[in-house]
Structure 1
Amino acid sequence: MNASVRTAKARFSKLLDRAAAGEEIVITSAGRPKAKLVGLAASAPKPFRVNRALLRGRVKRGTRAEVLVRVERDARD
């Protein structure tokens, strides 16, 4: 469904309900598509997963923040 900016402003709640139900709404301005309103379930990102192998070895357990900051600053000099 397409809706002009004026229509979208006037009927936002109804358009939001339609998008949540799975419909895709394209918001137009001067007849040109400017934005797309879609339900969150339709565009939800995949759950974030920590790559433990990547993190392993980055920071040693028990290292204090002050020490880490000092090491980083010394490395820049």
Structure 2
Amino acid sequence: MSRIVHLSLKVDDIQKTGDFYQKMFNFQDAVTKKTRDHTSRHMTDGEIDFTLLTYDDDATSAESTAAGDGPCIHH
């Protein structure tokens, strides 16, 4: 079992970034959903929940700004 079971990245282009991880690391889509002020694309390789987040342009929640501006590791 992997010690890291969840990783979330904040990205600018959820489709392009997700497609890269599918091609390079064989991640498969689990679910993509809109929640409050962001869209999340959950992917997996069978062991890790790998999530890509993109926030709405007008997002002001503490969650949307917690990791800083621009693409980054969110949590």
TM-score relative to the length of structure 1: 0.24
Q: Which has the higher strand share?
A: 2
Q: In terms of Rg, which structure is larger?
A: 1
TM-score, normalised relative to structure 2: 0.24
**Larger RCO, structures 1/2 (Cα 8 Å, 6+ apart):** 2
